[in-house]
Amino acid sequence: MKKFKFLYYLPVVLLLLLTACSGGGNKGASGGSSGGSGEKIELTFWNIWTDPSPQNEASLKQVEKFMKEHPNIVIKQQNIPHDQYKVKLKTQAAGKQLPDLIQVWPGAELKPLVDGGLVQPIDDIVSNWDGLINKEYLKDYNIDGKQYAIPANVVPTSLVYYDKDQLAEAGYKEFPKTYEDFKTLVKKLKDKGLIPIALGNKAQWVLQSSYISTIGDRLTGSDFLPAVLETGKKKFTDEKFIQAVGIIKELSEMGAFNEDFNSIDNIQHRDLFTLGDAAMMIDGAWSLGPVLEAAPDKNIGIALFPKVEGGLGDPSAVSAVTGTGIAINSELKGEKLKAAKQFLKGFYTEGYFKELMKAEILVPADIEAPSDVSPLLKEVAEITSKKIAPVYDATLPTEITDIINAGLQEVSLGTMTPEQLAQKLQGAVDKQK
Which stretch of DSSP H or E encloses residue 402? Answer: helix 398-413
Average pLDDT of 382-401?
89
φ, ψ dihedrals at 46, nearest 5°: -95, 135
Query: At residue 93, what is the residue type?
Result: A
pLDDT in tens, 135-149: 878 988 999 999 999
pLDDT in tens, 49-76: 998 888 899 999 999 999 999 999 999 9
Kindly report whether the global pTM for this prediction surpasses the value 0.75. Answer: no
Of 77-91, 294-308, 385-399, the least confident: 385-399
Predicted local distance difference test score (pLDDT) of residue 372: 82
φ, ψ dihedrals at 67, nearest 5°: -65, -35
Give 209-230 as a DSSP string.
IIIIHHHHHHHH-TTHHHIIII
In this model, does residue 91 exceed pLDDT 50? yes
In the chain, the N- to C-terminal Cα span, in Å, equals 16
Are 144 and 138 contacting, i.e. CB atoms less than 8 angstroms apart?
Answer: no
In this model, does residue 131 exceed pLDDT 60? yes
Average pLDDT of 230-255?
97
pLDDT in tens, 339-371: 999 999 999 999 999 999 888 788 888 888 788
CA 215, 218, 220, 226 torsion: positive or negative? positive
> Which residues have a Cβ under 8 Å from the Cβ of 368 and sit 6 or more positions away?
none
pLDDT in tens, 172-215: 999 999 999 999 999 999 999 999 999 999 999 999 999 999 99
pLDDT in tens, 290-334: 999 999 999 999 999 999 999 999 999 999 988 899 999 999 999
In this model, does residue 20 exceed pLDDT 80? no
Predicted local distance difference test score (pLDDT) of residue 202: 96
pLDDT in tens, 257-283: 999 999 999 999 999 999 999 999 999
The pLDDT > 90 percentage for the chain reads 75
- Determine the Cα–Cα distance for residues 71 and 93; give it in Å rounded to an integer: 30
